[in-house]
Amino acid sequence: MKEKLNVGLLNDSFPPVIDGVANAVLNYARIIEESYGHAVVATPYYPDAVDRYPFPVIRYRSVDTTKLVGYRTGYPFSASAMEQLEAEKLDIIHSHCPIMSTLLARTLRKTVEAPIILTYHTKFDIDIARDIHPAILQTAAIKMLVKNIEACDEVWVVSRGAGENLKSLGYQGDYLVMENGVDFPRGRVGAEACLEISRACHIPAGAFVFLFVGRLMWYKGIRLILDALSLLKKQGRSFVMLFVGDGMDRREIEEYAEQLGLWQDCVFTGAVRDREKLRAYFCRGDLFLFPSTFDTNGIVVREAAACGLPSVLIRGSCAAEGVTDGRNGYLIEENAAALASCLAGRMDDPAGTRQAGAHAMEEIYLSWEESVHRAYERYHVVLERCGSDGWAEHESGRDEVFEVISDSIDLLNKVRRANTEIKNKGSSLYDRLWDSWERYR
């Protein structure tokens, strides 16, 4: 058996935040701790976080920016977090976000001399375009993002499409495709669990159930879903549409469903944190709808496949990679008429739809155990290469802005440690500034 490694997993989201990347980090940590070595997670502070895991979770200071971007923004130069991470004697630093988490990783690499691997999960140009204005600031943000990524020792992407997106931003380096898995076992839940979902959502017996699971954001293709359902309803079709999840656009989505006359046909469950209950939702559905061109991997597509549920996807999207139209899923053009036509066809052929779900279960399912095993094998390759080439080779080209920020924070941290050691009864200016920051967490 290969040498056990201490792996630091850094990400800007982690439970209680529910999204695909948080789920990925949680499963990396769980499986590494159970089967391979030791994992530690570093992530921003959340006031309602309860970290009862078999691995340590180090929370660092954050600012509440949820109304702006949907997440809290972490402050990646926390002295206490750095000290705790240094004590873990990390062999690998694995960042899952190319912004604050990678800034933390780059600072940490200077002291622990461990290589950084970055997994690129999300099309950040879309996030930047949505959250940052004007355009000149978007260009600067993307430039900083790419410099941060290029400073890492190895870059992974979760799909070929994610790699193409990264290249389109100006990234010039190499990357490896390392697919995410799912934590659902292959197979369906019992009949009683499905009946409980039907009772809770008031689903009539024999109803055809469409399902969406994920953050309720317009860019997930939800408008396309609702427009297609409106066309179906005008054809006299009866169905139930389950929206499982929450998000910044939920209220607008609910209002739009009502405007289209779909309110009685849609059920908005909110976020479901219980994994077994979520699995039951997948098993209760007849067809999974995921017409997103934003997502780079679509873990939910494999979660659906684990439960024998085929997905409807946009042809050429990242989520559609590995899906064969008509065999283990359904591929459409990105318009409401195409989606409505596909849904009508699936409703008319429920046996064929179930057969496609069985093929999806066998052909596109990937467990997190297999995914993390591949990653752990690659950790050793990176360590061997960096041991011969030098772990810090990427730092030579880092931008001046990061250099100034990093060195300034290092100095402030040294001052803070000195103040703590001498136990000065009076509050220093630095401590007062720090306390002011903490009040804004």
Cis peptide before 98 (omega within 30 of 0): no
What integer best gives the mean pLDDT of the chain?
Answer: 87
pLDDT at 378 over 80: yes
The separation between CA 405 and the C-alpha centre of its own chain, rounded to angstroms, equals 27
Tokens of 3: 């040498």
pLDDT at 127: 67
76, 100 contact by CB (below 8 A): yes
Tokens of 80: 């206490």
Look at residue 25 and tell me if it is in a domain: yes
User: Of 83-87, 162-166, 343-347, 384-388, which gets the smallest average pLDDT?
Assistant: 384-388
Residues 102 and 174 in one domain: yes
pLDDT at 433: 47
Q: Which of 365, 399, 419 is the last residue in one of the domains?
A: 365
Residues 156 and 198 in one domain: no
- Residue 309 domain boundaries: 191-365
Using CA of residue 308, residue 356, residue 163, residue 297, what is the dihedral sign? negative
The HSE-up count of residue 266 (CA atoms within 13 Å, CB side) is 24
Look at residue 1 and tell me if it is in a domain: no
At 208 the three-state DSSP class reads: coil
pLDDT at 255 over 80: yes
86, 108 contact by CB (below 8 A): yes
For the chain, the domain total comes to 2
The separation between CA 289 and the C-alpha centre of its own chain, rounded to angstroms, equals 18
pLDDT, tens digit, for every residue of 106-163?
A: 999 989 999 999 999 987 666 666 666 666 667 777 888 899 999 999 999 999 999 9
Look at residue 85 and tell me if it is in a domain: yes
Q: Which of 343, 365, 387 is the last residue in one of the domains?
A: 365
Look at residue 257 and tell me if it is in a domain: yes
